[in-house]
Homo-oligomer: A and B are copies of this chain.
Amino acid sequence: MSIREEVISQAKQAKKAARKLAGIPTDVKNRALLKIAARLEDSMDEIIAVNNKDMEAGEKAGLSRALLDRLKLNEKRIKDMADGLRELVNLDDPVGEVIRMWKRPNGLQIGQMRVPLGVVGIIYEARPNVTVDAAGLCLKAGNAVILRGGSEAINSNKILTRVTAETAVEAGLPEGAVQLIQTTDREAVRVLFELNEYLDVLIPRGGAGLIKTVVNGSKVPVIETGVGNCHVYVDSAADLDMALDIVFNAKTSRPAVCNAAESLLVHRDIAEEFLPRLYKLFEEKGVELRGCDQSLRIIPAIKKAEEEDWSREYLDYIMAVKVVESFEEAVDHINNYGTKHSEAIVTNDYSKSQRFLQEIDAAAVYVNASTRFTDGNQFGLGAEIGISTQKLHARGPMGLKELTTTKYIVLGQGQIRE
């Protein structure tokens, strides 16, 4: 079979599986998740041995230390994957929920019922744990899933998918519900892009380059995830101690993730007091500041920011800083340079807090809290399959509900129109 034929055959099987999955009761799905979790733990040695092959190949290929770390599977990480599946069991099954139901004057009862999306395609990069996390979320929401991981992790992904898929079938889920694209050839991705007859959505998880490729190339509807150039704006009416805590946390608690802050805006009225205090904290932690002219005047030691710094997602111990003349300038700056992910204001001014909530266009808008909370678990929504930065279908952390759609159910007693 050619790559094209193989991918299409997988997609067809996924669609078939999806039809069956839609009607499978919650307890069967839950038992399958528990069984997969146990089987992953039982297969630990084998998984680690296979992962070692990917690690060796990666070292030979000269992958960065950070990439190798993301690629690595050990006992703890496999245990975490298994526990992730067990947590899904405790989450409510969204499928079958009737969100609302009403009666029309002609007696028709109309309801809106949650149903699975159908077939979900996930295109992701080096982290093999996504394989199990994504499969678990899709199954719980009644969807079939087609996984396409990075080439560095191909052996790890293969064994994880094999264990997951085989155990799912043993537990009563349909054949084809979990599938991995077996080749690392890019042709397979181009084929996926065409398959809107079989796939209901494609979700890219990874860097900006991957996401752009998928958005530009796919005829299948896409949910964009993740790129975060997040800002903290410290207003003239901020409690400066609180602002220091929030900026420090948003930048340094985990710089490599999308909800970490990348840019800092400081109102000119408090810049002279605030920036030196922040600089001291950042210097101790090893955070580099890149500033506007005003910032440089206040702290001459820092590097000058270039225009492109206002758009950068550093994912590192670096932060761009700009002194703004007004609240309005801060809002404009964020709406112009932000990626519509997570944006925060620190202020004690009621009116500005309300205006910020209204005027900032982003998936999550914060008053007096760290941007780092944008996360399914932190929001109390349970596990997430990604954070949507687009406006259609889902915005912000995407959990089980966002992996469903609805259908109208209409109960009549012979009604006809007109």
Contact = CB atoms under 8 A, between A and B. Distances in A.
A173 to B, nearest CB: 17
A407 B379 contact: no
Contact of A368 (B22, B215, B413): B413
A415 B215 contact: no
Interface string A100-125: 00101000101001010110000000
A238 to B, nearest CB: 10
A253 B362 CA distance: 45
Contacts of A362: 407
A110, A239, A365, A391: most-surrounded residue (chain B CB, <10 A)? A391
A369 B416 contact: yes
A250 B365 CA distance: 47
Contacts of A370: 412, 415-417
A37 interface: no
A222 interface: yes
Q: How many copies does the complex hold?
A: 2
A361 interface: yes
B409 A365 contact: yes
Interface string A395-411: 11000000001111111
Contacts of A368: 411-415
Given A215-B219, A416-B246, A417-B378, A391 B239 contact: no
A92 B246 CA distance: 38
A110 B246 CA distance: 17
Given A110-B380, A113-B357, 16 more contacts: A22-B359, A23-B358, A108-B373, A200-B392, A201-B392, A215-B219, A221-B390, A223-B392, A242-B414, A245-B416, A253-B416, A253-B417, A364-B408, A365-B410, A368-B412, A374-B408
